Amino acid sequence: MVQEIPTIQIIDAKNYVGQTVKIGAWLRQKRGSGKLAFLQLRDGSAFFQAVVVKADISEALFELAKNLKQETSLYVTGEIHEDARSSFGYEMAVSNIEIIGESHDYPITPKEHGTDFLFDERHLYLRHLKPFATLKIRNTLIAATYEFFNNEGFTKLDSPLLTGSAPEGTTDLFETDYFGESAFLSQTGQLYAEAGAMAFGKVFTFGPTFRAEKSKTRRHLTEFWMIEPEMAFMHQEESLVIQERYISFLISKVLEKNEQELDILKRDKDLLQSYTELPYPRVSYDDAIKLLQENGFDVEWGVDFGSPEETFLANHFAKPVFIVNFPKAIKAFYMKRHATREDVVVSADLLAPEGYGEIIGGSERDTDYDYLKQRIEEEGLSLEEYGWYLDLRQYGSVPHAGFGLGLERLVTFVTGEEHIREAIPFPRMTNRLRP
């Protein structure tokens, strides 16, 4: 009986040592001599090398291998061997090659290319090592988010992306025509999450979020993905405990599942491991200002932190750090008043070390109808638009708290990437709408 050759993925090569297998792959690079051709292949699961030995195959097949162009898709058949010299550990001794799709002159060559060029070619650049590793880690973070909140008894609540309101301020809205009236692309799912928390107790939203941020920084996208948990019958301190446990869980999952990708990105795994140790420090905004002033920063009580301040604070503690109780004047209208102070609200930002900045913003929410109505008016927002939100304070209002994690900020931090554009498949920034 003729045994069928199994078709496998590269990642599973370790289970087939000594066996002949067939793999569908793309050619990343090739090098060789008159007698040998080394094909660097990828199939979306991993990267490895297939070796073509002239003496072992027909002349025609060797010629074909030698002339393959970068990014040609092919089936390679051959025996799997251990390969102690490569980090992957296995390679293939090729006995046959079938071309599936020829490649033209592929624009991204092994030479150095500028960032603008690579992002103009993002639809192709996705195939390369760094984007592959970064986006695989993003995928782990997404899966682990569902795992964490499902384990904790949260219900996923989908909030609308077309809205009539602007809870995070009116300066960075994308406006669009909605059958003759103005609609905005959602800046946050939070207000809907609050309605959900009153129905399901603990909810989280997870979806795209839009901010027409003019700021061209390495941390800002105009379209990013946010995870927003909201918990009824919960105060801020309990919310902070959930936040740090969540971040620690996510980092542990990446360490467990993405060793290959962390190595590709040369991310320090021991350093990441140190960020799984809890608790994270809690520092009041007041103390943070003092600490900054003592260290030569020209900051006054009342200002929002910029990137240098955030970087200093988190590096000072060498861990993610919560800055708690920000000035009321620089925070959103819904945040809870402090029990004893007029000028601050019960809020917290989680700052990541190594210059990655704010990854979480959150607060306890005020529960009082009259106070929130007054704050909405003070902020110049339309009472009509927020009538439904104020209803939540009329029919069994309870203490509740929540937070928002920016997925791409977290991906940037965990992968050690310099720029947030690397953390999303097709970034949207002030100067980029395509591809």
Name the minimum Å distance from CB 360 to ligand 4AD.
Answer: 5
Q: Identify which range of 54-62, 64-72, 85-93, 359-367 contacts ligand 4AD by CB under 6 A.
A: 359-367
Output the CA–CA distances (angstroms, integers) from residue 371 to 11, 59, 211, 365, 383, in the order listed.
58, 83, 27, 11, 13
Q: Which position among 78, 355, 406, 427 is part of the footprint of ligand 4AD (CB under 6 A)?
A: 406
Binding mask 199-238 for ligand 4AD (x = CB under 6 A): ------------x-x------xx--x-x-x----------
Name the minimum Å distance from CB 228 to ligand 4AD.
Answer: 4
CA dist., res. 227 & res. 210, Å (int): 13
Q: Which position among 360, 372, 414, 424 is part of the footprint of ligand 4AD (CB under 6 A)?
A: 360
Output the CA–CA distances (angstroms, integers) from residue 323 to 80, 228, 285, 420, in the order listed.
53, 19, 6, 22
CA dist., res. 385 & res. 65, Å (int): 65
Q: Tokens representing 369?
A: 């109808």
The DSSP element (H or E) to which 407 belongs, if any, is helix 407-415
Q: Of 72, 90, 79, whose CA–CA distance to 30 is shortest? A: 72
Q: Which position among 49, 145, 163, 188 is part of the footprint of ligand 4AD (CB under 6 A)?
A: 188
Q: Identify which range of 295-303, 337-345, 353-361, 385-393 contacts ligand 4AD by CB under 6 A.
A: 353-361
Binding mask 103-142 for ligand 4AD (x = CB under 6 A): ----------------------------------------
Interface with ligand 4AD includes 190 (CB under 6 A)? yes
CA dist., res. 77 & res. 20, Å (int): 7
Interface with ligand 4AD includes 422 (CB under 6 A)? no
Beta bridge partners of 283: 323
Minimum CB distance to ligand 4AD smaller for 25 or for 332: 332
Name the minimum Å distance from CB 188 to ligand 4AD.
Answer: 4
Name the minimum Å distance from CB 43 to ligand 4AD.
Answer: 32
Name the minimum Å distance from CB 403 to ligand 4AD.
Answer: 5
DSSP line for 3-61: PPPPB--GGGGGGGBTSEEEEEEEEEEEEE-SSEEEEEEE-SS-EEEEEEEGGGS-HHH
Interface with ligand 4AD includes 402 (CB under 6 A)? yes
Q: Which position among 320, 327, 355, 404 is part of the footprint of ligand 4AD (CB under 6 A)?
A: 404
Output the CA–CA distances (angstroms, integers) from residue 21 to 43, 64, 101, in the order listed.
14, 20, 20
CA dist., res. 145 & res. 148, Å (int): 5
Binding mask 361-400 for ligand 4AD (x = CB under 6 A): xxx-------------------------------------
Minimum CB distance to ligand 4AD smaller for 78 or for 361: 361
Within 279-338, the residues that bind ligand 4AD by CB under 6 A are none
Minimum CB distance to ligand 4AD smaller for 48 or for 322: 322
The dihedral formed by the CA atoms of 15, 21, 24 and 27, expressed in degrees to the nearest 10: 90
Name the minimum Å distance from CB 170 to ligand 4AD.
Answer: 13
Interface with ligand 4AD includes 409 (CB under 6 A)? yes
Beta bridge partners of 229: 204
Minimum CB distance to ligand 4AD smaller for 136 or for 409: 409
CA dist., res. 379 & res. 40, Å (int): 58
Coil, helix or strand for 194?
A: helix
DSSP line for 224-285: EEEEEEEEET--HHHHHHHHHHHHHHHHHHHHHH-HHHHHHTT--HHHHHHTTSSPPPEEEH
Interface with ligand 4AD includes 184 (CB under 6 A)? no
> How many residues interact with ligand 4AD (rule CB under 6 A)?
22
Minimum CB distance to ligand 4AD smaller for 211 or for 253: 211
Residue 289 and residue 265 in contact, taking contact as beta carbons nearer than 8 Å = no
Minimum CB distance to ligand 4AD smaller for 65 or for 313: 313
Radius of gyration of the chain (CA): 26
Q: Which position among 25, 28, 140, 168 is part of the footprint of ligand 4AD (CB under 6 A)?
A: 168
Q: Which residues of 95-122 are buried (b: 16+ CB within 10 A; e: fewer)?
A: bebeeeeeeeeeeeeeeeeeeeebbbbb
Name the minimum Å distance from CB 109 to ligand 4AD.
Answer: 31
Q: What residues make contact with ligand 4AD under the rule CB under 6 A?
A: 168, 188, 190, 211, 213, 220-221, 224, 226, 228, 358-363, 402-404, 406, 408-409
